[in-house]
Chains A and B, each alone.
Chain A
Amino acid sequence: MFSIEKLISYITLVNKWVAFATLVFMMVSVSYFAIGRSMGHPVLGDVELVQFSMVIVIMCAMPFTEKTNSHIAIGIIVDKLPHRVQTILDILSHLLTLIFSILVALFFVMKLDVQQSSDLLRISYTPFKLIIVCGFTGWALEALVKLVQSISRLNNKGVMELENERGIRVDS
């Protein structure tokens, strides 16, 4: 189990750095497009490059977001319940997350044969659909790790009592 966990966090790490690099590219290139355009030299295909970058940033962000517990959840009721019940509900959360993300990855694999490419630069969509598969698979794997952790916590009373109350995670 330990080595699988390591492998999963390695996958998340790769995704995270890909998102990072793409975001750096986006920041610099969008500024370049903006300045170029306002000086009368529009870059052909600028919009498409941003669109493709967005797919990478969003999808590669998914596993990292799950790993860092950054998905928003409302704990207002559950936070007050006994820890055992909380853990059971966590198992439900992780299970649903796992089901959803694995299904999305699967749905994209099933439609991979759909041939399409962008209007202007004629870049094929297929590699980017594969990135969506990777992103959601990475998300599913992180959810799986948490699911396993929650289940083992449920079976271990000592850990159960030590567990801190979980607050609500936020951003808006």
Chain B
Amino acid sequence: MTVELVGLFVIIAVFVLMFLRVPIAISMAIPACIGIFYLRGSETLITFINSVIWEQSFHYTLSTIPLFILMGQFLYVSGISQELFTTFQNWFGKIKGGLGFATIGSSAMFAAASGSSVATTGTMGIIASREMLNAGYNKKLTGGAIVAGGTLGILIPPSTTFIIYGMITEQSIGKLLTAGIIPGILLTLLFMLTIAICVLVKPDMVTTHSQRDVGWKERFRSLKSNIWIFILFIVVIGGLYFGLFTATESAGVGALGAFLISLLRGKLTKKTFVDAFFETIKTTGFMFAIVLAAFTLNYVLTITRLPYVLTDFLFSLDLSATMIFILIVLMYILLGAVMDTLAMMVVTIPIILPLLERLGFDLIWFGVIIVLVIELALISPPIGMNCFVLNGVAKDLKLGEIFKGALIFIAPILVLITLIYIFPDIALFLPNTMQ
């Protein structure tokens, strides 16, 4: 059996196990270990497992992940999410489709303190779904707006996805995080535009018109809760941008800052304090299990030279860079339909890295593209984590309705991918001007 064939069998085994509901980390690790054992024997397998687990856990940069997760947890505990929504409600409530804007806006604000899309969806989902449904928004639009808003969690910094991408590609985490700011704001606006177009084209998407109309004084007063997050964002991401902190340090300061905010707001009890940590530990556990397993899988794929075979094949087709780019995005859309997003990224990036380098793509820029295709994956059927999470927290919304609503928001993401392909500066302007 040629080594390339071994690689192929390993990949197939991974997919079979995944769809048998075997935990993703185990689905990757077991075939990979068998592959290593088959190709290079037990001594190599034992040495490799020792090296890879030690290297990936004795890791400075990756400590940003638990710390940023912790920061989001504290913000959640602090009860700020409800106030965020109310603020946007005060400002946009009068406009038709305004609650949709409020959902997107408050999700974007929450994203500025949370590194995860699923956490953003889960947090805003509880609040926004209730308000939107009560105000007569149809279920599709409600579900779609919430899961789309949730995807902003990994585009607007902080973002665990950028961190893991940066670790795999050896790019600066600080630059990657800042690269997400402008695309994040743009996507927020594009999502709002999508809602505006929806209610314009199909006015029956909102049956009763919200009567919420508060004075300017109240509007400005309600900005207070946003100020907290804004200050935290400036300290954390500003500190990173202006070179005061490393990525790990800014995550540490962010977590401590969020802790202080929840303390000052009087929302911290012994229970909520401990729970914030336990939630973080759980998330850390499953994320690192996947990362460790994916690195094991990557080793076996590398020694079977599968990535190089793929690169050579694509180059032999003599396609233009744009065509290859489109192929890559299409591949991710297909994979993203059926795969877990973290696993998708850690498995595929090392495979296409030689290709990206040969094409001369900027890896910071490509990081933003990857995050956008992952956002697509999070809301596309049949496997779309954001939709599952919303379905879990908002029982009034059926999974089918959420997915149908989510489809509307695929368009703005694709528009943004196209825009960033044509104007790379949308992503690169900020990181290139970093101090």
Contact residues of A with B, CB < 8 Å? 16, 19-20, 23-24, 26-31, 33-35, 37-38, 47, 50-55, 57-62, 64-66, 68, 70-79, 86, 89-90, 92-93, 96-97, 99-100, 103-104, 107-108, 110-111, 114, 125, 128-129, 132, 167-168, 170-172
Contact = CB atoms under 8 A, between A and B. Distances in A.
B124 interface: no
Q: Is the interface of A mostly helix, strand, loop or mixed?
A: helix
A171 B283 contact: yes
Contacts of A71: 23-26, 285-286, 289
Nearest to B51: A111
A167 B58 CA distance: 34
Most buried by A among B26, B256, B284, B285: B285
Most buried by B among A29, A38, A54, A90: A54
In the A-B complex, list the 7 residue pairs whose CB atoms are closest, starting with the nearest.
A30-B252, A65-B285, A34-B249, A61-B285, A71-B23, A78-B21, A70-B282
19 contacts: A19-B281, A20-B274, A27-B255, A31-B249, A34-B250, A50-B63, A57-B281, A58-B284, A58-B288, A71-B286, A74-B24, A74-B340, A75-B21, A77-B19, A78-B21, A96-B22, A170-B388, A172-B117, A172-B341
A100 B284 contact: no
Interface in B1-58: 17-26, 29-30, 33, 45-47, 49-50, 53-54, 57-58
Given A55-B54, A74-B383, A170-B385, 16 more contacts: A27-B70, A30-B248, A30-B252, A35-B253, A52-B58, A59-B57, A61-B281, A61-B282, A71-B285, A73-B24, A74-B19, A76-B382, A100-B33, A107-B50, A129-B54, A172-B341
Contact of B277 (A24, A38, A52, A104): A24
Contacts of A55: 54, 57-58
A82 B118 CA distance: 29
Contacts of A75: 21
A142 B191 CA distance: 43
Contacts, number: 212
Q: Is the interface of B mostly helix, strand, loop or mixed?
A: helix
Contacts of B45: 107
Given A51-B58, A52-B58, A132-B53, A170 B118 contact: yes
Nearest to A15: B281
Given A19-B281, A100-B26, A26 B46 contact: no
B285 A27 contact: no
A48 B184 CA distance: 34
Most buried by B among A59, A70, A111: A70
